[in-house]
Chains A and B, each alone.
Chain A
Amino acid sequence: MIVAITGIILILFVVGHLLGNLQIFLGPDWINSYSEHLRELGPLLWAIRIFLLATVIVHIYVTIRLAIANRRARPKSYIDKENVKATFASRHMVMSGLIVLAFIIYHLAHFTFRKTDPRFGLLKLDPLNRYDVYSMMVYGFQNYVVSGFYVFALFLLFLHLSHGSSSFFQSLGLNNKKLEPRLALGGRIFAWLLFIGYASIPVAILLGLIKPAQQL
């Protein structure tokens, strides 16, 4: 239940974050003013960040404990084991989750703390004296390695959520025989939409559809 509730909070964040990011397609003014508004929240922004961090920590702590208990429940594994119904995604939630965690740490260092790319320090403020998030994202994703890792992590997030975004209904008891196949399908569609939405940004940048608003 704790996993389900923290999972829902994180899913809501992922959706919100995507909607924010997609504003890059609306031009520099949109996304720069969006990020300016976020920063203007000040202490509230930090409260949200700390809340999300705590959620992530609880989600991981509880699931790792469960995973260890599950290992102990089968000390000797089968010599031959076929999976009839359990999907790859559902059996590898810890693996996909931990790789996504590694990505989140890098992603924060990259775009939030801006410690990995020295070019971000050269960016000038935009015409309205706001930090030029638009150009930062474009320069950031123009690197194939960065974009590649980003898309790879997104795919694992997709795997994680293709199971997780319907699984929490079952954990909270909000499921029955009729709903189950619909929730499973809905969860997979939801996870694909997130993947396509997020991946569209680096792809559009690498294809040159989005160009930086300023030259370095």
Chain B
Amino acid sequence: MNFKLQIWRQKDRQSKGKLVDYEARDISPDASLLEMLDIVNEGLLLKGETPIAFDSDCREGICGTCSLNVNGEAHGCDHPGAVCELYMRRFRDGQKIIIEPFRLRSFPIVKDLVVDRSALDRIVQAGGFVSARAGSAPEANSILIPKQDADLSMEAAACIGCGACAAACPNASAMLFTAAKVSHLSLLPQGNPERTSRVLKMVNAMDAEGFGNCTNTYECEAVCPAEISASFIAKLNREYIRANWHTSGAE
């Protein structure tokens, strides 16, 4: 298959980038979008041009590093799934494909299609952990957890931290990410002791990173490769209200 590509090229953080036209020829329909970019890059290298910089790691939809907007959608049109799971058979032969990096103030562009998503790491560092002695694994059934709580927690824990939620959000809000990270710990007894302080710290960290505010458009859950439900945002709001209620009496 052949494609007409328009790809964002930007030399470094400071420089002004622009869309550059490329041609992709003889691409297998079973190639992923990233594999197609590999092939285009090989051609660029042979011509002595600088290859297109893009992030990728696992190429099996679990690392969340790709951070691409393909034809206007975070991770492309094949939801749920990351860009490595977006196969060229999903496009028409000869179709124009626009590839841009995620665009948010909190994810500065490093080069071409590579963005710095460490803002998400800093939200997790603010409270997305359990402070406990990390010794050998205890006996599995020593802490009993209701099945529905464990399932719901696992649903939230499926978040791979790719940032597509914030990238697709009309307001550039990272609420779905933060909601998933807060929820999966607050649902479990191990996360319970820090439940109150965690949500306050993580929401403060999220605001400090300059993300936008949630207006409940649910665009995030539509593009999430891990199918995190926006109902976790309702849970985050509950946790936040509860935490403020608890701390207001404690002072």
B-binding residues in A (CB < 8 A): 1, 66, 69-70, 72-87, 90-91, 93, 163, 167, 169-177, 180
Q: Do A172 and B215 contact each other (CB < 8 Å), given the known contacts A80-B69, A91-B170, A180-B230?
A: no
10 nearest A-B residue pairs (beta carbon): A173-B238, A82-B72, A73-B212, A86-B217, A85-B222, A175-B234, A73-B172, A70-B171, A173-B237, A70-B212
Return chain A residues, CB-CB under 8 Å to B106. Answer: 73
Residues of B within 8 A of A85 (CB): 217-219, 221-222
Cα distance A102–B199 in the bound complex, in angstroms: 39
Residue of A nearest to B241 (CB): A173
B215 touches A90 (CB 8 A): yes
Interface contact B98-A79, CB-CB below 8 Å: yes
Those of B217-239 within 8 Å (CB) of chain A: 217-219, 221-223, 229-231, 233-239
User: A residues within 8 A CB of B236?
Assistant: 173
With a CB–CB cut-off of 8 A, which chain A residues contact B171?
70, 73-74
Q: Are A170 and B238 in contact (CB under 8 A)?
A: no
Q: Which of B100, B104, B170 lies in contact with A79, CB distance below 8 A?
A: B100
Residue B216 interfacial (CB < 8 Å): yes
CB-CB nearest in chain B for A92: B170
Residues of chain A within 8 A of B170, CB atoms compared: 70, 83, 86, 90-91
- Cβ-defined contact, B241 with A78, below 8 A: no
- For A173, what are the chain B residues with a Cβ–Cβ distance below 8 Å? 234-241
User: Is B19 an interface residue when CB atoms closer than 8 A count as contact?
Assistant: yes
Contact of A171 among B71, B104, B216 (CB under 8 A): B216
List 21 interface pairs A-B (beta carbons < 8 Å), by A numbering.
A69-B213, A70-B215, A73-B104, A73-B105, A73-B211, A74-B104, A74-B171, A76-B103, A79-B19, A80-B98, A84-B223, A85-B218, A85-B221, A86-B170, A86-B219, A91-B170, A170-B230, A170-B234, A170-B237, A171-B237, A174-B234
**In the bound complex, CA of A175 to CA of B173 (Å):** 19
B217 and A70 form a contact (CB under 8 A): no
The verdict on A84 contacting B79 (CB below 8 Å), with A73-B171, A91-B170, A172-B241 known, is: yes
Docked complex Cα distance between A31 and B149 (Å): 54
Give the tally of cross-chain contacts (CB within 8 A). Answer: 112
Q: How many residues of chain B are within 8 Å of chain A by beta carbon?
A: 43
Is B73 positioned at the interface, with any CB of A under 8 Å from its CB? yes
A74 near B98: Cβ-Cβ < 8 Å: no
Is B241 a contact partner of A80 (Cβ separation < 8 A)? no
Residues of B within 8 Å of A169, CB to CB, are 234
Pick the contact of B231: A72, A84, A177 (CB < 8 A). A177
Given A79-B19, A176-B235, list of 11 further CB < 8 A pairs? A1-B241, A73-B173, A74-B172, A82-B73, A85-B222, A86-B222, A90-B170, A90-B217, A171-B214, A180-B229, A180-B231
B1 to chain A, nearest CB (A): 20
Give every chain A residue within 8 A of B212 (Cβ-Cβ).
69-70, 72-74
User: Quick check: A66 and B213 within 8 Å, CB to CB?
Assistant: yes
- Answer yes or no: B210 CB below 8 A from chain A CBs: yes
With A75-B105, A173-B237, A175-B231: A93-B210 Cβ-Cβ less than 8 Å: no
B182 interface residue, CB < 8 Å from A? Answer: no
List B residues 106-157 near A (Cβ within 8 Å): 106
Please measure, in the bound complex, the distance between the C-alpha atom of A81 and the C-alpha atom of B71, giving whole angstroms: 7
- CB of B162 within 8 Å of the partner chain: no
Cβ-based interface call for B34 (8 A)? no
Measured in the bound complex, the distance between the Cα atoms of B80 and A84 in whole Å is 12
Residues in chain A near residue B216, CB distance under 8 A = 90, 163, 167, 170-171
The distance from the CB of B167 to the nearest CB of chain A, in whole angstroms, is 9
Interchain nearest-CB distance for A75 vs B (Å): 5
Residues of A within 8 A of B73 (CB): 82, 84
A122 → chain B, closest Cβ, in Å? 47
The verdict on B168 contacting chain A, using a C-beta distance below 8 Å, is yes
Residues of B within 8 A of A80 (CB): 69, 71-72, 98, 100
